[in-house]
Amino acid sequence: MAKKIKNIGVFTSGGDAPGMNACIRAIVRTGIYEGANMFGIYRGYDGMIDGEITPMDSKSVSNIIQRGGTILKSARSERFMTQAGRKKAAAQLRKHKIDGIVAIGGNGTFTGAEIFLKEHHIPFIGIPGTIDNDLYGTDFTLGFDTAVNTAMQAIDKIRDTADSHNRLFFIEVMGRDAGFIATWSGLASGAEAILVPETKTYMEDLIQKLETGWKRQKTSSIIIVAEGDDAGGAYEIAKKVKEKFSHYEIKVSILGHMQRGGSPTCFDRVLGGRLGAAAVQALLQGRQNEMAGMVNGKVKFTPFSKAIRHKLEIQKDLLALGDILAS
């Protein structure tokens, strides 16, 4: 039988995402409720290597549920990718007698955890935290709902100008490898086209679409471009369109990191609370090497190996719906 875990560490890693603080609060308070000692590890794997570890009590997570970012700070660690870095991290955890970890992050975080576990045998449970929503094993990642609502509100505001001045706007949203933010924010704001990295962008099709809209007397248009689209970023695509389609005045807007910050939505706070509590309980029950995700409204655990190696498919049905509704 697995040894009972007494001291649990929590950290955030990779890009920060709204709802991480609500999740940290749930992890710390559930752990204390279950009788464990709780520790915060600052700056992700880098802070673990450098021993930036402090005890957390119930009060240390007061008044953070509504805050964006992460009180534990975050980082993408190059050093943890080396065996020497991981060895130092393990020594720091042992120094604090930490015998279980909850890691909030994305693919890179779980990849590191999987290797670490094989080398140092300290149990990990992961929680999907990224605005990109690109993790297999969960319907929604922490931060995605807030990010798409932020993007949608910004697009709505830009549409006012597009409409008032009869302009064509290319709006770039985040998503280096994934088009979920583009798909959802584009669908919710009635975009004329949504361009994502997962599907090939054909410039002729885009121009054809714009021509059709123009003939139907559309006086303004919004095209949403995920930053990682294969045809380039919003500036590059706008330039290509301008060469062939001069009917509109063309403008570009890059939403950027505003999508990562801000107070989490109700959905992300509740998601953070449920996954945080489930992750701690799972650790205490002897589970390890798994990600706690939300599938069809229920907490579901997926092995890291599966979460990392499988790619979550972009929702092509939503992209098709966007096309129909914009026609």
Rule CB under 6 A: choose which of 175, 186, 273, 293 binds ligand F6P: 175
Question: What positions carry a catalytic annotation?
Answer: 132
73 binds ligand F6P (CB under 6 A): no
Q: How many chain residues touch ligand F6P (CB under 6 A)?
A: 9
Q: What are the DSSP E strand ranges found in 121-272?
A: 124-128, 167-173, 193-195, 221-226, 249-254
311 binds ligand F6P (CB under 6 A): no
Q: What's the Cα-to-Cα distance from 36 to each of 12, 212, 223, rounded to whole Å?
A: 19, 63, 50
Q: Which stretch binds ligand F6P (CB under 6 A): 125-133, 206-214, 235-243, 285-293?
A: 125-133
Rule CB under 6 A: choose which of 99, 132, 229, 268 binds ligand F6P: 132
All residues at 6 or more sequence positions from 204 whose CB lies less than 8 Å from its CB, including other chains: none
Rule CB under 6 A: choose which of 21, 30, 77, 130 binds ligand F6P: 130
36 binds ligand F6P (CB under 6 A): no
**Separation of alpha carbons 282 and 236, rounded Å:** 47
Give bridge partners of residue 172 from the DSSP assignment.
Answer: 225, 254
Whether the Cβ atoms of residue 189 and residue 153 lie closer than 8 Å to each other:
no
Q: What are the DSSP E strand ranges found in the chain?
A: 7-12, 37-41, 53-56, 100-105, 124-128, 167-173, 193-195, 221-226, 249-254, 290-295, 298-303
Specify the residue, 76 or 87, whose C-beta has the smaller distance to ligand F6P: 76
Specify the residue, 32 or 254, whose C-beta has the smaller distance to ligand F6P: 254
Specify the residue, 55 or 256, whose C-beta has the smaller distance to ligand F6P: 256
145 binds ligand F6P (CB under 6 A): no
Closest-CB residue for ligand F6P? Answer: 176
Specify the residue, 86 or 260, whose C-beta has the smaller distance to ligand F6P: 260
**Quick one: tokens of 209?**
């679409």
Using CB under 6 A, which residues numbered 258 to 287 contact ligand F6P? Answer: 260
> What is the phi/psi pair of residue 65, to 5°?
-60, -30
229 binds ligand F6P (CB under 6 A): no
Write each residue from 9 to 28 as x if it is in contact with ligand F6P (CB under 6 A), else as -, in one continuous string.
------x-------------
Q: What is the DSSP letter of 104?
A: E
Specify the residue, 99 or 134, whose C-beta has the smaller distance to ligand F6P: 134
All residues at 6 or more sequence positions from 134 whose CB lies less than 8 Å from its CB, including other chains: 106, 107, 141, 175, 177, 178, 180, 311, 312
**Quick one: tokens of 187?**
């669908």
Specify the residue, 129 or 322, whose C-beta has the smaller distance to ligand F6P: 129
Q: Which stretch binds ligand F6P (CB under 6 A): 78-86, 174-182, 307-315, 318-326?
A: 174-182
Binding site for ligand F6P (CB under 6 A): 15, 130-132, 174-176, 227, 260
